[in-house]
Structure 1
Amino acid sequence: MKNTYQVDNVVTEVRSHGLTLERVYGYDFSIAIVTNFTQNHLDFHKIMDNYLQSKLLLFSKYLSRSSSAKAIINHDNPSYEHFINACPSKKTQNSFVANDIKTSLNGTKYIVLLPSGETRRIHLNIHGNFNVYNSLACIATCFTTYSHLLTLDQIIQSLENFQYVKGRFEFHIRHRPFSVVVDFTHTPDGLEKVLKCGRQILLESAENADEYADIMIATSDNSSQENPQKIIDDIVSGIQTKPDKSRLYVEVDRKKAIHLAVDLAKDRHDLILITGKGHETTQILADHAIEFNEKDIMEEKYKQMMQDNTLSTLILVASYSANLASEMAIEKSKDIISGIDDLKNGRIPFNPIGISEGTAAEDYHLRKISEGTLNYHRLISEKVIYDSLLAYIIDAYFVDSGTAEYFTNNIYCNSTLIGNDYMHKIYI
């Protein structure tokens, strides 16, 4: 095959189907990575041992015999020894370990221990221990193979700048006034992991993550030729601990089920987790497919809720406005956001925050709050700011007090000033 584009490195996902059916015949991988091995694709492999044997082919058959070839394997996975034994040669093993893992709405923090004994702190914008393993695999790959091209600082900075994978524990709404996450997972292990991750985010404590869901709504996915009600009946019958009727709901229509979840959510401590479709934008029903974008459905329902409850749009500013209208709006929204300290202590997430690029507010945020991470929306004009607020792309906006007071007094009268003055701290 001619290398028309002069590509030197290719990263590809190799599925167990492709390994079994020899779709990668002739490949000679320089690096093979496995982060996890759990139940999946049994419709094709029938039993778990067949599935495992197909995965092992990546290491036993397709990993290069070159002395520079590397295998990156998750030591915490129960099948670790199988993958190690499948490698063509046993070389010196280097460990990359994550310690002091902490999760919140703003992402995941941990300390990575390198083979040299050096430690570095990392803040990911993505969530879940499964993404800690994924990031460790990235660090191990780049550090051991591309150290001549990338410094450790560059590797870590790239990870910290990464925002999310579409449809993989993707936040659609954060604290507005509840949170909504969409995830593609549809396997028992995957569902348990994302549920536990969601619980940890809300409680910020792994010890309290034993009860994963307070309310369950069983609904349809891509039912194809099967009866969706029968699928739901099988799901409900498979729940070992039968919840009471106040905790288990059944709604065949997936759109109505999403609306029901929104109606049941109460405050910022609630998280709606929608699983099964993730990034998909269609739903397969019987012999046809319909357009089905869960993000659009959720936003439509949320906007309706906002209108019904007449919630105010908020602007987070440098000084406090004491007029009566602002005080009323602040009182109504006090459970959502109170000021810049809510960002510092993790009470609200970074992602729904907007800041004008090149301003003192942006400088302060980068140096004092986000530690240099661009985890907010950079805005370029007054129109973009206001349009972003109205479209719920952002929930709050940092701006200097003079500009903010002009906005709210003369142009955008349905916006509200909140928060205490912090500008004097910028250059400290």
Structure 2
Amino acid sequence: MDLLTLLNNCHIYYDSKKIKNYEISGIKINSHEVCPNDVFVAIRGQTNDGHDYIRECINKGVKTIIYEDHYYDYLPIDDVNMIRTHCTKTTLAVLANYFYGQPSKKINLIGVTGTNGKTSVTSFIYQIYRLLNQGCTLIGTNGMKIGDKSLPTENTTPNALVLQQIFAESLKQGITNAVMEVSSHAIKQKRISQLDFNTVILTNFSQDHLDYHRTMLDYFYTKGMLFASLGNCFGEKKVLLNGDDKAYKKFLSLTNVQSYTFGITALNDIQAKNIICSLDKISFHLYCFKEFFGVVESKLFGFFNIYNLLAALGYFYLQGFNMKEILPLLPCVKGIPGRMERIENNIGLDIFIDYAHTPESVYRILSEVRMFTNRRIILVIGCGGNRDELKRPLIGKIATGLANHVILTTDNPRFENPQNIIDNIIQGVINDNYEVVLDRSGAIKKALEMMTKDDILLILGKGHEDYQIINNEKLYFSDKLEVLKYLGIHS
């Protein structure tokens, strides 16, 4: 594809007297990856600014630079196509979409958003497609999969360039279904711009990311942009919302496409009745628009996974699948690594790790475990540094209110003093049933030393993560491996 074809079809305006046309090899946003025939798009990020690398790209022979900083209008740069746009994040999405052949228009794209449950719902939909022997691409917190091939990702939702590449590669492999987590950061940073979603699912909505959004109103409207982006026409596109969430009607007001709900209360379109939950399994009767379709049996833990399963099942029902074929597959659907993951051991200890790090998710897990048992709950938990400080006292209140013994520790302190984070958490405690062990490895060891077979140990906050971020270093650390290491020594 030549440069002028790309620019003209993307309606990128330029000075025709100054533009030199050539065959382009690709679009890049990383100066380390550029080749002379690439188009470099300078993106302003949270920690790096692509404009700072324009000169490096020019020195490497790059012939076209797209930027948004007016400063570069006045630099005497010869033999380089310098094109300024108002927002290079949007421009990147538009260029990548056209360059890769508008792949999201040719794929059945499902977006899952919400405060909690995104990873589980996307994984369940992906797993069911694979159990039906249908191809599916998965994009989310735990990485990406094109069919059965796994790929790493740094963000819950990758940048616009990577997304278009992934969908183009999926089509090349004959895969026409894709399900992805859509974070609020991705929406605000225009990573999902130009994606043509067929279905959007809302899991729930509660306080999170206020370090980034500052207010709940900004957080809400950022999420709402995804629903509004589905268009103004009532057609094949649809949204599926958690009808038991108090915010669902507000989201409903932001979309004009077909809308459906899931939940356990009577007014929902997709409903669970006769629910049974334990530490080892869940089951319920599935009703779709008041019609009984069968009993759902699953080895997953937790009341919250009923909602996650309902979201996935509701999606397949609305897509016209035979639910009699779907339900027998559910015992094969596995939980997500780091999401109420039981650490198997041969000494009979009930130990779980989970990614829960918001007040809502911590409350949900503790209250559900408390619902199932009167056994002593030992909890290891912390809060991330340089993140929403308002949730720290809330987590202190919830933890000390629902657990029997709480060990407060570090969880990616980043550039903050770990003790200051702990002090913020302690501001909310309502009982004196806690202690502080700053070293996370030591906190886990302390919890394991004090527990018996009559206890339940919950290690929350990191789940699948295999690192600790201290200052600007990403150090290897795994809650799961810390437990296994201890049990290997003491079993």
Please report the TM-score for the alignment, with normalisation by the length of structure 1: 0.64
Cα deviation, residue 203, structure 1: 4.7
Contact preservation (8 Å) 1:104, 1:200: no
Contact preservation (8 Å) 2:357, 2:460: yes
- CA displacement, residues 81-125 of structure 1 (integer Å, 9 cap, x when unaligned): 112111214668770111222221222122222215214211222
Contact preservation (8 Å) 2:279, 2:302: no
Structure 2 counterpart of 1:270: 455
Structure 2 counterpart of 1:281: 466
> Is 1:252 paired with 2:470?
no
Structure 2 counterpart of 1:217: 407
Q: Distance in 2 between matches of 1:59 and 1:158?
A: 30
Structure 2 counterpart of 1:61: 229
Cα deviation, residue 5, structure 1: 2.1
Q: Distance in 2 between matches of 1:163 and 1:17?
A: 28
**Compared CA separation, residues 144 and 90, structure 1 to 2 (3 A):** closer
Cα deviation, residue 64, structure 1: 7.8
Contact preservation (8 Å) 1:196, 1:212: yes
Structure 1 counterpart of 2:383: none
> Is 1:78 paired with 2:246?
yes
Give the one of 319, 328, 334 matched to 1:157. Answer: 328
In structure 1, list runs of 5 or more residues that go unmatched: 205-209, 307-428
Task: Give the match's secondary structure for 1:173.
Answer: coil
Q: Distance in 1 between matches of 2:231 and 2:352?
A: 36
Cα deviation, residue 62, structure 1: 3.2
Contact preservation (8 Å) 1:282, 1:293: yes
Residue identity over aligned pairs, in percent, reads 28
Task: Give the match's secondary structure for 1:11.
Answer: strand
> Is 1:169 paired with 2:333?
no
Structure 1 counterpart of 2:423: 233
Q: Distance in 2 between matches of 1:196 and 1:265?
A: 20
Contact preservation (8 Å) 1:101, 1:111: yes
Structure 1 counterpart of 2:197: 29
Over the aligned positions, Cα root-mean-square deviation in angstroms equals: 2.3
Q: Distance in 2 between matches of 1:175 and 1:305?
A: 11
Cα deviation, residue 259, structure 1: 0.7
Structure 2 counterpart of 1:136: 310
Cα deviation, residue 42, structure 1: 0.9
Give the one of 188, 195, 213 matched to 1:45. Answer: 213
Instruction: Report the number of matched residues.
Output: 294
Contact preservation (8 Å) 2:293, 2:324: no
Cα deviation, residue 66, structure 1: 5.4
Structure 2 counterpart of 1:421: none
Structure 2 counterpart of 1:357: none
Please report the TM-score for the alignment, with normalisation by the length of structure 2: 0.56
Cα deviation, residue 305, structure 1: 2.4
Q: Distance in 2 between matches of 1:102 and 1:175?
A: 27
Contact preservation (8 Å) 2:241, 2:259: no
Match of 1:110, as an amino acid? F
In structure 2, list runs of 5 or more residues that go unmatched: 1-99, 102-170, 262-267, 376-399
Cα deviation, residue 175, structure 1: 8.1
Structure 2 counterpart of 1:87: 255
Match of 1:74, as an amino acid? N
Hey, which of these two has a bigger chunk of strand by percent? 2
> Is 1:242 paired with 2:431?
yes
Structure 1 counterpart of 2:272: 98
- CA displacement, residues 157-195 of structure 1 (integer Å, 9 cap, x when unaligned): 332211210111111136833211111111111111111
Match of 1:266, as an amino acid? T
Contact preservation (8 Å) 2:234, 2:257: no
Task: Give the match's secondary structure for 2:343.
Answer: strand
Match of 2:310, as an amino acid? L
Q: Distance in 2 between matches of 1:15 and 1:4?
A: 26
Cα deviation, residue 22, structure 1: 2.2
Match of 1:101, as an amino acid? I
Q: Distance in 2 between matches of 1:113 and 1:225?
A: 49
